[in-house]
Amino acid sequence: MLQSIHIQNYALIRQLDVDFASGFTVITGETGAGKSILLGAIGLLVGHRADHGVLLNEQQKCIIEGHFVLETNAFKKFFSENEIDFDGELIIRREISPGGKSRAFVNDTPVQLTVLKDLGDQIMNIHSQHETLLISGNRFQMQTLDSYCGNSALLAEYGDYFKKYIDCQHRISELTELIERRLSDADYFGFLFKELDQASLSAEELASLEQEQKMLMNAEKIGEGVFGSLQILSESDDNVQTALRRVEQHLQNASQYLPELSELAGRINQSLIEISDISDTLNRMSGKAEINPARLEKVNERLDEYSRLMHKHKVSEIKQLLLIKDEIDAKLEDNSNLEQKLEAEQKILDGLDKQLLQISTELDKKRRSAAPAFRDAILEILNNLGMPNALFEAALENTDTYKSDGTNSIRFMFTANKGEKLQDLGNVVSGGEMSRVMLAVKSMTAQRNMLPTIIFDEIDSGVSGLIAAKMGNILKKLSENHQVIAITHLPQIAARGEDHIHVEKNDAGEKMQTVLRQLDSDARVEVIARMISDEKMSDSALEMARQLLFN
């Protein structure tokens, strides 16, 4: 149960501390006084999203802190799984900074909002005013029946498989689309690859061809260099070799008179050997100086093929062209891999389908089995709320597709009047009837799930008089096993509370502020009298208030 709440710098509240009783607490106050603000602060404690616009002073952070007492064994698993210390006392704190950043703490341990919301769903249910409108929606109706059936564990298991099923469907769709796209491109890419493969391209060949082209195009100049050099070195009458031999002979002849010349003669001899080798090499290379138009044409044709393919694929280097060839080859190879992946994903989907079918069948069985008792429980409460002729059914149908909560669709069928046919709930109920049906649903599901705390925000909308008194009795009865907090405008319900908090506006200071009073018996008489007589403190209103409170 919620023991207390501390609110600081939130909306119209500068600072506020409120204690709550364990039974039935009513909260009253004029419209706009701040009752919904208090409800919003409590909502932050159970995982509702924060808005930095709620800061009263935009330069300071907002702090909401709630103290709860819980049954230890019921929550031991949750706190263990989330590594949070727990010994029966629970402290939840939310902080909202001026910059809009929100932080959540459970027993001083920082937690993600999803963890806080999970905990909040287990410790409290808040019925907001707009939630009554949701009762005609399929999702709310199915959640209500599942809550009555105790299907939470089965739904969690189903939800895990359903998420995997949807993800698998998406992967299959993407693979199928990719395969179709690849198949449409297969002929084109196949042609490109065949063209590149048959061309037998290589960086080494291209470099060799470019060098050969340069040589063939300049054969005449090469010939001039080679043959001219041979003439000078060895072939002309006054060639270098003949001249050097004469030099060597002169030096040898003179060396008998000057021994140092013998060394120079030896060096000349070494030069003659080197020049002879150069001449031999030039003779062997003379073939490359041959002008060969036929070979040049073939080389040019091969180089043109390289150039054409590089231009076609918009690259300037052979390594880029070879990379493109490898990429095209990989694409063609990947088509086969994609088919294998698709087949594997389809097997996964088939397995998930079997799991979903099994669990959804079990959900359907449990829902249909519980529907009659669910109906009877609702009708019993409606009878106590002044609707003895009401008829109600939870009509279930099967669908052909998996949904997030199984394969059932549901419609709450209802009529308040004797002799009338059942119709869709949303089409036939008045505002007051809708409030009573919602209270019946909330009361019944709360009893089944043993939520520690239930909060009602004007569940009494559209009712008055005797029906309001009956609603008060239902809420009081509900508080025997739950902490019940009800925001109300009706004196009949306010009088049934064991604890009474009154919300007022205080216009002292620069800004209007919300203040709360926990009322004693005398103050309760006055507040309820004002609720009866529209703020006029008449003797008859005071007497009626006493009767409501003490009879």
* Model pLDDT for residues 277-327, shown as the tens digit of each residue: 888 888 777 766 677 788 888 989 999 999 999 999 998 899 999 999 888
Whole-number pLDDT of residue 509: 63
Neighbouring C-alpha atoms within 13 Å toward the C-beta of 91: 9
Q: 198 and 302 share a domain? A: yes
Choosing from 283, 307, 336, the residue where a domain stops is: 336
CA-CA-CA-CA torsion sign (362, 363, 365, 369) = positive
State the Cα angle at 9 between 4 and 15, rounded to 5°: 50
Higher model confidence: residue 257 or residue 496? Answer: 496
Q: 227 and 299 share a domain? A: yes
pLDDT at 510 over 70: no
What the block records as the tokens of 110 is 């920082």
356 lies in a domain? Answer: no
What percent of the chain stands above pLDDT 70? 98
- Which range, of 65-74, 233-242, 250-259, 525-534, averages the lowest pLDDT? 233-242
158 lies in a domain? Answer: no
175 lies in a domain? Answer: no
What percent of the chain stands above pLDDT 90? 41
Q: What is the DSSP letter of 427?
A: H
Q: What is the DSSP letter of 234?
A: I
Q: 98 and 230 share a domain? A: no
| Residue the block writes with tokens 């690859």 | 193
Closest alpha carbon to 124 in 394, 457, 517, 490: 457
Q: 233 and 325 share a domain? A: yes
Q: 304 and 212 share a domain? A: yes
Q: 55 and 194 share a domain? A: no
What the block records as the tokens of 538 is 């008449």
Mean pLDDT of 83-88: 87
526 lies in a domain? Answer: no
d(CA 300, CA 28): 98
Q: Structurally, how many domains does the chain consist of?
A: 2
State the Cα angle at 252 between 248 and 257, rounded to 5°: 145
Whole-number pLDDT of residue 8: 93
Choosing from 315, 336, 357, the residue where a domain stops is: 336
What the block records as the tokens of 281 is 């090499």
Q: 221 and 94 share a domain? A: no
Mean pLDDT of 237-251: 85
| Count of C-beta atoms within a 10 Å radius of residue 395 | 13
401 lies in a domain? Answer: no
| pLDDT tens readout for residues 103-156 | 999 999 999 999 999 999 888 988 887 776 678 888 889 989 998 998 989 999
- Which range, of 33-42, 214-223, 456-465, 494-503, averages the lowest pLDDT? 214-223
Q: 196 and 314 share a domain? A: yes
Whole-number pLDDT of residue 50: 84
Whole-number pLDDT of residue 288: 67
Q: 190 and 320 share a domain? A: yes
pLDDT at 390 over 80: yes
Task: Tell me which residue range forms the domain holding 329.
Answer: 182-336
Sorting pLDDT into bands at 50, 70 and 90, what band is 550? confident
344 lies in a domain? Answer: no
Whole-number pLDDT of residue 178: 84
CATH number, domain with residue 46:
3.40.50.300
Q: 278 and 202 share a domain? A: yes
Task: Assess contact for 463 and 435: CB atoms under 8 A.
Answer: yes
Q: 216 and 292 share a domain? A: yes
154 lies in a domain? Answer: no
Whole-number pLDDT of residue 339: 84
Q: 191 and 330 share a domain? A: yes
Sorting pLDDT into bands at 50, 70 and 90, what band is 535? low
Choosing from 336, 369, 398, the residue where a domain stops is: 336
Whole-number pLDDT of residue 418: 86
